[in-house]
Amino acid sequence: MNPHHDGPLGAPSQWLTRWAHLIAPQGRVLDVACGAGRHLAFLAGQGHRVTGVDMDVQAARAQVPQAQLLQADLEGAPWPAAQLPTPFDAVLVFNYLWRPLWPQLLASLAPGGVLLYETFGAGQEQLGRPRRPEFLLQAGELVQLCQGLQVVAYEHGVAQEPARVVQRIAAIRPLAGAALPPPLSLK
C-alpha cells in the first residue's frame, strides 16, 4: 500500500466534512488518489455517485463496493478519467500532489462543481514525511492554481493530530457565462 494513503478505512477529512454541502445533491464525485476509500464511503453514504482512481483500488473496492473504481498509475500513464463521462460535480484530492495533473483535474470539474483539495505544504519536511519539495505545495500555490475558480475557503498552516503542514482549498467553477464575484474587501 502507498504510504501516503490512509490504510484501513478511517474517518473522512474534516475539510471534506466541512465543505461537502457544496456538492450538488446526488452529484458525481471523482476522488483522485482515493486510497482505501474513506472519502468515497462518506460521500456514497450521502447519496453521491462516487468514482475513485488510484494505483491500487483493492481496499477501496472492498470498502465501497458501490463505487466506480479505476486502477491507474496517475503519474506514469495517460489520465485515466478520460474514459469516463465528464464533467464531475466534485473533484477531491487529499494527501496527494502531482502537479502535471492540474489541467486534467480542472477540466474534470463541471460548471458549479466543487474542488476540494488538501495536501502537504512546505514546512512539512520539518515535521515528517513527505520531505521532498516536489511533494510539498509552496505558500499560496493552491490559490494560484485555482485562478478562474471562486475560492470559498483556503487554509495554510500547521494542522494537529498528527502535526503536519497543510494547504487546503474549497473552490467552485463558475456557472457557464457567470463572472467571478469581486474579491471581498476586508476592513
Domain ranges (residues) in the chain: 14-172
Res 75: pLDDT:
92
**Residue of 77, 89, 7, 11 whose CA lies nearest to 47:** 89
CA distances from 173 to 21, 28, 70, 113, 146 (A): 15, 15, 24, 5, 9
Strands 49-54 and 28-32: parallel
List, for residues 101-152, the tens digit of each pLDDT value.
999 999 999 999 999 999 888 777 777 788 888 888 788 899 999 999 999 9
List, for residues 76-100, the tens digit of each pLDDT value.
888 888 888 879 999 999 999 999 9
Res 6: pLDDT:
41
Domain 14-172 coded CATH 2.60.40.3500: no
**Residue of 59, 90, 74, 55 whose CA lies nearest to 82:** 74
Measured from the Cβ of residue 173, the count of other Cβ atoms closer than 10 Å reads 21
Res 85: pLDDT:
82
Assign 3 a pLDDT band (cuts: 50, 70, 90).
very low
pTM listed for this prediction: 0.86
CB 93 within 8 A of CB 33: yes
Res 170: pLDDT:
97
List, for residues 30-52, the tens digit of each pLDDT value.
999 999 999 999 999 999 999 99
Strands 88-94 and 109-120: parallel
Q: Which three cell numbers stand for residue 72?
A: 491507474
Tell me, letter by letter, the H, E, C secondary structure of 91-103: EEEECCCCHHHHH
